[in-house]
C-alpha cells in the first residue's frame, strides 16, 4: 500500500508561477509514488470571497484545468471539489459539537 498525500488549494483567483513552484510541481512528482488526493478548497475560499461566491465557482473549473495542464494525471491521482463531498459537512458538524470555542480562538 502506498503512503497517502492530501493537499488542496483555495480557488480565490488565477493560478500563477508561485502556485506552480510552491505546490503543483511537487504534486506532479508525488503522484507517481503516493496515493494522492488533491482538492479544490471552495468552502475555504468563502472565508475571503463571501461577498461574491460566483467568482469562486468560476475559479474552481479554471483551477482544475490548470492542474491538469501542469501535469496532474487523473489516472494517477484523485482530484475532487470539497463542497461536492457531503462527508466534509458531516465531519465539521461532529467536530463543531465537541470543540470548545476557547480552543478555536487560540488557533493562529
The answer to whether residue 107 scores a pLDDT higher than 90 is no
Q: What's the CATH number where 40 sits?
A: 3.40.50.620
Which residues are CB-contacts of 45 (< 8 A; sequence separation ≥ 6)? 10, 11, 12, 56, 59
| pLDDT tens sequence across 42-53 | 988 877 767 777
| pLDDT tens sequence across 12-50 | 888 899 999 999 999 999 999 999 999 999 988 877 767
> Sign (positive/negative) of CA torsion 89, 34, 63, 25?
positive
Domain of residue 86, residue span: 4-105
Q: How many CB atoms lie within 10 A of CB 20?
A: 16
How many structural domains does the chain have?
1
E strand or H helix at 15: none
Amino acid at each position: 500500500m502506498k503512503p497517502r498525500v492530501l493537499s488542496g488549494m483555495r480557488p480565490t483567483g488565477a493560478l500563477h508561477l508561485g502556485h506552480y513552484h510552491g505546490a503543483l510541481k511537487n504534486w506532479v512528482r508525488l503522484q507517481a509514488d503516493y496515493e494522492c488526493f488533491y482538492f479544490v478548497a471552495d468552502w475555504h475560499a468563502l472565508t475571503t470571497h463571501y461577498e461574491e461566491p460566483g467568482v469562486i465557482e468560476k475559479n474552481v473549473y479554471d483551477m482544475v484545468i490548470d492542474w491538469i495542464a501542469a501535469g496532474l494525471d487523473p489516472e494517477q491521482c484523485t482530484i475532487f471539489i470539497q463542497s461536492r463531498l457531503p462527508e466534509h459537512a458531516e465531519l465539521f458538524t461532529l467536530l463543531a459539537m465537541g470543540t470548545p470555542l476557547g480552543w478555536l480562538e487560540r488557533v493562529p
